[in-house]
Structure 1
Amino acid sequence: MRPLHRVLVTTLRGLSWLLLRFIRLLSVFSRDPPCPDPPLDPLLLIPATELAHKIRCKELQSSAVVQAYITRIRQVNPALNAVVCERFDEALREARNVDELVSSGTEDEKTLREKYPLLGVPFTVKEAFALQGMPQSSGLLSRRFVCAQSDAVVVSRIKKAGGIPLGVTNCSELCMWYESSNKVYGKTRSPYNPQHIVGGSSGGEGCILGTAGSVIGVGSDIGGSIRMPAFFNGIYGHKPTADIVPNDGQYPIDHGCRREFLCTGPMCRYAVDLIPLLKVMAGESAGRLHLDREVKLSNLRFFSMEHDGGSPFVSPMDKELVQAQRRVVEHLEKELGVTVQQVSIYNLRYSFQIWSAMMSQDGEKEQSFADLMGDGNSFWPFWELLKWIFGVSKHTLPGIALALTEKMTQWNVRGNEIMIKKARSLRQEISTMLGDDGILIYPSHPKIAPRHHEPIAMPFNFAYTGIFNVLALPVTQCPVGLSRDGLPLGIQLVASHYNDHLILALAQYLEKTLVGWMPSGSNKGQN
């Protein structure tokens, strides 16, 4: 490392350390509510596919299931602020309609299963998606009175499959930050420790799933917005191969190259629900992912990389996360008899720079993040930052900072060209390494769920997830237990394009043989 570069890196990390300590000092004076009690109602501990089966077979009533989830949300939401608008009366009415349909006997169980694979199952939706009659502000204050007049495509498909929406969940401002807090609804708190973040931008969704207030949900991901909340809340999330699940009906909707990077996908408490929900969300395109193909895991090739190689922009990897990943590797080698190859992919250390360059490669052709922040009005990031300092801005600091970063990135034309070339090379390298029978195990994030506001001191840590958006690779986020402090641990499983079935099969295997979702307080001090 060159001396000047070493000085810059040391200075950058020193400033981040000071800012982090200052934020933690302020957090001493914050008053967060206590952690919610673990779920006790057995109806809350059944996977969605099993719920649907029991409802179709008249073993359970949808109205009882929906009521159990409504009761749970009412119990935990005052402390967590995950569900920002509910439709409980409508959901109960729809559940009673399901019960009447099943009890009428007009259609047998097989017919009901084919037509309604999610019959009577409650679900929640990220507020950025259109759910008829619900708000769709995406955390932008100027859109606080916008109400969806119809359903997003994926929401419509889940409803047609028999799912019953309970309401919409919180996100970050314009879905571009990894803490779910905004000027419309405020901040969402972790069910594992309310002093910690839930991730973003699908943070409210991850939170309500993690605390058993929902069983399946809808999220979207352009830099890790499904996978980071899934990681921080101890659940499963899947970013599909690009261009499989339609993004239509969410705000903001990206165009051009960014549309390929934005992925809509399932968020679930149980791995067994990922494939059925993904099939519904993808519609006819699901066939391109070979989701019904049998996977023999012992015949696959496995690779593991424990950190990004040393990016100066990203925090060092937490030791507990490294240990958790090693436990997964040891488990696979022992139980499946496979060899997990340790790899070092050099260009992954440029993940943040590559993501930024790829997001800005269309330049003036794309609507900028600053344009979206203005929502039709002029938005000057430097002026808005000054207003924020004096407490008169209508925007969050992360949103303003992102608009500033976007401006600076666009000025670095030569640097962007270099990083775009690295992206193409990296995509080819990983795709070739994995082929059609390989899985890469990779960290979800360098840190266990931080405390509120701490991401400001480490803004580029999302690079661990964001890189796979611009490479268009499918990724499944898996929980792998709890830390010594009772916070979720997790890993990412990465496959080559259109090989989603491999990593989804591995997620189900790990859930059965190692560990899956764990309620808060269930396993402190396991390490």
Structure 2
Amino acid sequence: MSPLPFTDMSASALAAEIRQGRASAAEVVEAHIDVFRQVNPGLNALVAERFDAAREEARRADARVAVAAPDEPLPPLLGVPCTVKEAVAFTGMPNSSGVVARGGVPATATAPVAQRLVDAGAIVLGVTNTSEMCLWVESENRLYGRTRNPYNPTRTAGGSSGGEGAAVGSGASPFGVASDIGGSIRIPSFCCGVFGHKPTRGLLPATGSWPPCDDGNRALFAHGPIARRAEDLMPLLRIMAGPDGVDPLAAEMDLGDPADVSLRDLPVLLIDEAWPLAASVDMLWARERAAGALAAAGAQVRRRRMPALRRAVESYITTLARMSGIGARDVLFAAGANEVHWRALLRRGGPHTVATRLLLVAERAQTRLPRRWAERLITTGEAIADELRNAIGDGVLLEPTLATTAPRHGRTVGRPWWLAHVVPFNLAGLPVTQTPLGLDPEGLPLGVQVVAGHGRDHVSIAVALELERVFGGWTPPPLHVGGRPDRLVRVLS
């Protein structure tokens, strides 16, 4: 048996232990359920569980291993537990994205990206919390409440996949399925100290998320994995990738191998500050350390300015608002929510968060933006995307995920400039691997985005693997159990 406890191991390592008979799927699944039972009352990461079904699936996996011939190929993730963002459909589980009017509505089918993992043998423990409609960077809603950061409960776990980030970051899940239309994989992965990968545009189908994508916003959206170990990212992508016959953007792509990537002479780009919200000293220091580690491996680090990035947030917001065929208000009405009058948006309470109420006001204001201004901002976004693609080329870009470490709860609400460091890469459709880089003096995760060229997901993942080797990757947190900040335990199962 491995010297590491099950709740520290990668999914790949767990699968090997189960396949080779050194551990049972039942033991592995139960170890992760135990962590959830300890930490979830304080974190509120998992919002609906299927523990009994997972135990039965683990028993069936063990029975399959027991009768398998020595050379019989078994599913690559057989018996390995995982979690799924509540916004990603999984048959029989809630699929509301925190919208009160949609509470209790179960998914009637499973999203292709989740089904492909199940077909590969993964066992889903449950679904995790999101921001309301998946439209803000903090995971809070009036249906399930707020998700807290496993490193400090006064800090956000990020959003919109904050429940997934907290589940993986706490050690309760080896990996999970998430989605990203404006940082929603990368921000929670960063805040919770784990790895997350936003794939190249079109690599994974967008089918099966709620709210659904339309032809206007699909190009900004991506499903992708969050994992506690970098070695899992590429195998998970290979399982989830490929067209599904529904998403018109999903296409077959040749996926490279991170092992074939040489860091020697790899171009590594750093953009000097050109953002509406400048990164803190700690965040820039983390990026510089990452660049230094890559330089030590033979990479060629260079710098440049990109002043157009100052317009990235407004260009992104305008692109999302004007290109989408359905707005947030329409989504709420389709879910059965009552009409939201503007006076009600100013009152406390009600079925919608402050972030959602502000979003509805901003959405209404966006419709009054003169058409020529909107077109100019959309064009600016396209130019930013082109400049980024050309600047990165065959190399990678290192960029902080947020301007600071995980903010306190509520500090980002009504402040769209927090999106500045993530949304340019949604505009460009480029692959990004969020990579942890240890903890700051207050014990909060540090990290960096590693951005690669189109279709070069294996390159950003190769860089993440090197940075994990140098800096250690995920650091198991002290966990606040049962919502009591005075009880700190380190769960190593």
Q: Distance in 1 between matches of 2:145 and 2:337?
A: 23
What SS is found at the alignment partner of 2:416? Answer: coil
Partner amino acid, structure 1, of 2:207: D
Offset at 1:519?
1.5
Offset at 1:515?
2.7
1:344–1:381 Cα change, 3 Å? farther
- Equivalent residues in 2 for 1:281-360 (5 A)? 281-283=240-242, 287-291=253-257, 294-307=260-273, 309-311=274-276, 315-333=277-295, 335-360=296-321
- Equivalent residues in 2 for 1:444-523 (5 A)? 444-456=401-413, 458-521=415-478
Deviation per CA, 1:320-339, whole angstroms, max 9, x where unpaired?
11111111111211x21333
Partner amino acid, structure 2, of 1:94: E
Comparing both structures, which one devotes a greater share of its residues to helix? 1
Offset at 1:306?
4.9
Confirm whether residue 193 of structure 1 aligns to residue 155 of structure 2: no
- Aligned partner (choices 269, 272, 280) of residue 228 of structure 2: 269
Confirm whether residue 210 of structure 1 aligns to residue 169 of structure 2: yes
- Aligned partner (choices 376, 387, 404) of residue 418 of structure 1: 376
Aligned-residue sequence identity (percent) comes to 39
Partner amino acid, structure 2, of 1:168: V
Offset at 1:384?
3.1
Q: Distance in 1 between matches of 2:121 and 2:344?
A: 45
What SS is found at the alignment partner of 1:473? Answer: coil
Offset at 1:236?
0.5
Judge conservation of contact 2:253–2:455 (CA < 8 Å) in 1: no
Confirm whether residue 46 of structure 1 aligns to residue 9 of structure 2: yes
Partner amino acid, structure 1, of 2:344: E
What SS is found at the alignment partner of 2:15? Answer: helix
Deviation per CA, 1:357-403, whole angstroms, max 9, x where unpaired?
2112336xx111111123355634523313x33x3x21111011112
Q: Distance in 2 between matches of 1:89 and 1:41?
A: 26
TM-score, L = length of structure 1: 0.86
Q: Distance in 1 between matches of 2:4 and 2:289?
A: 32
The aligned counterpart of 1:252 is 211
Unaligned runs of 5+ in 2: 244-250, 480-493
- Aligned partner (choices 300, 311, 323) of residue 362 of structure 1: 323
TM-score, L = length of structure 2: 0.91
Q: Distance in 2 between matches of 1:355 and 1:132?
A: 33
Partner amino acid, structure 2, of 1:218: V
Confirm whether residue 174 of structure 1 aligns to residue 137 of structure 2: no
- Equivalent residues in 2 for 1:124-135 (5 A)? 124-135=83-94
Partner amino acid, structure 1, of 2:377: M
| Structure 1 stretch displaced more, 118-127 or 141-150 | 141-150
The aligned counterpart of 1:226 is 185
Confirm whether residue 183 of structure 1 aligns to residue 148 of structure 2: no
The aligned counterpart of 2:247 is none
Partner amino acid, structure 1, of 2:260: E
Judge conservation of contact 1:381–1:400 (CA < 8 Å) in 2: no
Q: Distance in 2 between matches of 1:306 and 1:146?
A: 47
Deviation per CA, 1:471-501, whole angstroms, max 9, x where unpaired?
2111111111111110011111111211111
Partner amino acid, structure 1, of 2:110: D
1:171–1:422 Cα change, 3 Å? same
Judge conservation of contact 1:482–1:488 (CA < 8 Å) in 2: yes
Q: Distance in 1 between matches of 2:345 and 2:18?
A: 53
What SS is found at the alignment partner of 2:118? Answer: helix
Judge conservation of contact 2:86–2:94 (CA < 8 Å) in 1: yes
What SS is found at the alignment partner of 1:194? Answer: strand
The aligned counterpart of 1:92 is 55
What SS is found at the alignment partner of 2:254? Answer: helix
Partner amino acid, structure 1, of 2:424: I
Deviation per CA, 1:254-284, whole angstroms, max 9, x where unpaired?
1012011110001000000000111111146
- Aligned partner (choices 243, 259, 262) of residue 202 of structure 2: 243
Partner amino acid, structure 1, of 2:271: M
What SS is found at the alignment partner of 2:376? Answer: helix
| Structure 1 stretch displaced more, 367-376 or 351-360 | 367-376
1:381–1:63 Cα change, 3 Å? same
Q: Distance in 1 between matches of 2:22 and 2:272?
A: 45
Indicate the RMSD between aligned Cα atoms, in angstroms: 1.8
Judge conservation of contact 2:266–2:300 (CA < 8 Å) in 1: no
1:130–1:457 Cα change, 3 Å? closer
Q: Distance in 1 between matches of 2:47 and 2:119?
A: 24
Offset at 1:316?
3.0
The aligned counterpart of 1:440 is 397
Q: Distance in 1 between matches of 2:226 and 2:237?
A: 9
The aligned counterpart of 1:80 is 43
The aligned counterpart of 1:26 is none
Deviation per CA, 1:408-459, whole angstroms, max 9, x where unpaired?
2232222221122212222222212222x21011110112111111112633
What SS is found at the alignment partner of 2:101? Answer: helix
Partner amino acid, structure 2, of 1:139: G
Q: Distance in 1 between matches of 2:252 and 2:217?
A: 22
Partner amino acid, structure 1, of 2:164: E
Offset at 1:41?
7.6
Partner amino acid, structure 2, of 1:339: Q
Deviation per CA, 1:74-119, whole angstroms, max 9, x where unpaired?
01001111001111111010001010000112x445511xxx1111
Judge conservation of contact 2:12–2:232 (CA < 8 Å) in 1: yes
1:216–1:286 Cα change, 3 Å? farther
Q: Distance in 1 between matches of 2:438 and 2:415?
A: 24
The aligned counterpart of 1:30 is none
Partner amino acid, structure 2, of 1:148: A
Q: Distance in 1 between matches of 2:425 and 2:134?
A: 17
Judge conservation of contact 2:258–2:461 (CA < 8 Å) in 1: no
Q: Distance in 1 between matches of 2:341 and 2:400?
A: 33
1:361–1:293 Cα change, 3 Å? farther
Offset at 1:521?
4.5
The aligned counterpart of 1:4 is none
Confirm whether residue 66 of structure 1 aligns to residue 29 of structure 2: yes
Partner amino acid, structure 1, of 2:384: L
Q: Distance in 1 between matches of 2:368 and 2:153?
A: 39
